[in-house]
Amino acid sequence: MARINAVAALLFTTTIVIYSCKSNYLLSEREAAQLHISPTALQYFNEAFIQVSRESYRKKEIDFKQLYQASISKMDSAVTWKDAYPAIKELIAGLQDRHSYFQPPATNGKSVLSTVSEQSASIPFNASIADSCGIIELKSYNAIDLSDRHRVADSLYAALKQMDNTNVKGVIIDFRKMEGGTPVPFLTGFAPLINQDILLKYVDNKNHASYITRYKNGIYTKNGRKTARLGYLSDYAPLLLSRKPIAIITGKYTASAGEMILIAFLGLPNVKTFGVPTYGVATGKSNIFLADSAFISLASSVTCDRNGKAYTGSLSPAEYIDPAAVSEEQLRQAIRKWMQ
């Protein structure tokens, strides 16, 4: 069997990694020809398959031989790279991680990542003070622009600082509309409130810590093989608010980045969660770029809290409160009662 090479580019780095592997179930060009699959389409799919099978965090749970055969069945008479798209979609669906997806090449001259990047002048949260309590309502946010992420982090910290100066009795953070995106600006802004050195850990499919995120003196970093700054605050000062009650509201649409941010708060003695279980996809992602600029956003790691506890499913709140059964005011009353 011919040696097959594949190229993987990760979202947070520019490092190019060349993979090679042999397998007794990858089709040869001769076998593919019998299915009217061109060498071009076969190589394109095989490169994607090899990287996915190596990096998926569910690697040990999946029969990749069976998944390969099921995916190849979608490539009958495939000639071009584009003809392999149905097979790649079958491959991603077969992972059953509810988080990975395939993104075809961008159109109209857009960059490949701009298709999934949302940037606007708005702030992805609402901040207010009511009944002597600070309230932060988070929204989904995803942008690759570092200056925009910095703007969001500074804005979030400024809102917390104002609450601190107002001497509120506690903070409510509502995650019910936080469906995903990037956790970086939120963790950067929230870190003085969390007031811990380690915020999160990530573990790969070999149960090795792929990297740890830390925070110190206004700077949020990723520590792994290399240390990289992910975010920072323009002005930094500790928050007295970090020692006051912090109530977190979760919902069924709290997912992905929302769950990662939530995990950074878990285990703190002054934090309690209310609501319903989250969606359950607190998995780190890596981007696999293909030859035609299509890419696979792959769930490649599991999020752990600072103590190393991994979260592979829904996060259940400490106090279950079904919004279908109680009013918003009743929910806030339960939170205020706990804060008192």
Model confidence pLDDT, tens digit, residues 67-118: 999 999 999 999 999 999 999 999 999 999 999 999 999 876 666 655 556 6
pLDDT at 110: 66
pLDDT at 225: 76
pLDDT at 115: 57
**Mean residue pLDDT across the chain:** 90
pLDDT at 112: 60
pLDDT at 21: 45
How many CB atoms are located within 10 Å of the residue 99 CB? 21
State mean pLDDT over 142-147. Answer: 89
State mean pLDDT over 289-299. Answer: 95
134: CB partners within 8 A, 6+ apart: 127, 128, 159, 160, 163, 166, 168, 170, 171, 172, 241
Please give the backbone phi and psi of residue 201, each rounded to the nearest 5 degrees, phi first: -130, 155
The pLDDT tens digits of the residues spanning 6-28 come to: 323 222 222 233 333 446 789 99
pLDDT at 323: 85
Region label for 268, one of left (φ > 0), alpha (ψ between -120 and 50) or beta (otherwise): beta
pLDDT at 6: 31
pLDDT at 15: 29
Region label for 207, one of left (φ > 0), alpha (ψ between -120 and 50) or beta (otherwise): left
pTM for the complete prediction? Answer: 0.87
Confidence label for 1 from pLDDT (cuts 50, 70 and 90): very low
The pLDDT tens digits of the residues spanning 197-208 come to: 999 999 999 988
State mean pLDDT over 316-336. Answer: 94
Confidence label for 226 from pLDDT (cuts 50, 70 and 90): confident
The pLDDT tens digits of the residues spanning 118-140 come to: 656 689 999 999 999 999 999 99
pLDDT at 209: 87
pLDDT of 163 higher than 90: yes
Q: Please indicate whether residue 31 or residue 6 has the higher confidence score (pLDDT).
A: 31
The pLDDT tens digits of the residues spanning 234-251 come to: 999 999 999 999 999 999
